[in-house]
Amino acid sequence: MLNKRIVLTWFERAAESMAANKDELGILDAAIGDADHGINMDRGFNKLRSELPKMEDLSLGEMLKRAGMVLLSSIGGASGPLYGALFLKGAITVGDANELDAAAFMTFLATGVAGLVERGRTEENEKTMYDVWAPVLREYKKNLDAGMGLEEILKACVDAAETGMKATIPMLALKGRASYLGERSIGHQDPGATSSYYLITALYESVRG
């Protein structure tokens, strides 16, 4: 079950991870973008972390919605609206529930990622963060259908996220700033795919406890 306590821990861990990997994300973005992805993610998740005490009394759905608003407005760049859409759209599915089982979290994730895709007008193999979220969703669904529990499902999703992240290296960028580089974008790992991997890892670790 995913509850408010786990979600707060998720955001806390994600903030730690974005801070710890700020330089790496910046270096990845320097190669095919404008070098600010680490700064953007660290700023957004640090802001979210500072809001956590105020969020404790919100319902789970309101908490996820609030996170989307904070990330949308404080990450900035291309990635802020995309992460914002993921949480804002996903939050709508939560309704009054204060706990999500593995199936309900699938609905959150699938709807959130659909929001991201709508916002980014992206498809797979365009070298973006969606190249992590798409295989993660597939892995999640496969394992949910096989009857696995949330923790086990997310463990498998971390591996799928890592594979998806690394698969962006040989891709030609077709969306965002990296696409301006054309063929020169090939051979570099996508920064947004990398921060998405960290976000999914933080989620798994929070559920595992």
- Residue 17 in tokens: 């991870």
3-state helix, strand, coil in the chain (%, to 5): 75, 0, 25
Q: Which residue has tokens 């593995």?
A: 102
Could you tell me which of 130, 132, 127 has the C-alpha nearest to residue 173? Answer: 127
Binding partner selected for residue 185 from Mg ion, ligand ADP, none, CB under the kind-specific 5 to 8 Å limit: none
Q: Is 24 helix (H, G, I), strand (E, B) or coil?
A: helix
End-to-end CA distance of the chain: 12
Q: Is residue 191 part of the contact set for ligand ADP (CB under 6 A)?
A: yes
Looking at residue 189, what DSSP letter applies?
-
Q: Is residue 43 part of the contact set for Mg ion (CB under 5 A)?
A: no
Choose the stretch contacting Mg ion; rule: CB under 5 A; options: 8-16, 74-82, 96-104, 128-136.
74-82
- Indicate the residue whose CB is closest to ligand ADP: 192
Choose the stretch contacting ligand ADP; rule: CB under 6 A; options: 92-100, 118-126, 159-167, 181-189.
118-126
**Least Å distance between CB 27 and ligand ADP?**
12
Site for ligand ADP in 67-106 (CB under 6 A): 77-79, 82
Q: Is residue 123 part of the contact set for Mg ion (CB under 5 A)?
A: no
Give the ranges where 33-182 is alpha helix by DSSP (H): 37-55, 60-75, 79-92, 102-120, 130-145, 150-167
CA dihedral of 100, 56, 111, 193, whole degrees rounded to 10: -110
| CB atoms closer than 10 angstroms to residue 57 | 9
**Least Å distance between CB 181 and ligand ADP?**
12
Q: Is residue 204 part of the contact set for ligand ADP (CB under 6 A)?
A: no
Q: Is residue 37 part of the contact set for Mg ion (CB under 5 A)?
A: yes
Beta bridge partners of 100: 2
Site for ligand ADP in 3-42 (CB under 6 A): 29, 33-34, 36-37, 40
Nearer to Mg ion, 13 or 37 (CB): 37
- Give me the residues that bind Mg ion (CB under 5 A), please: 29, 33-34, 36-37, 77
- Give me the residues that bind ligand ADP (CB under 6 A), please: 29, 33-34, 36-37, 40, 77-79, 82, 120-122, 128-130, 175-177, 190-193
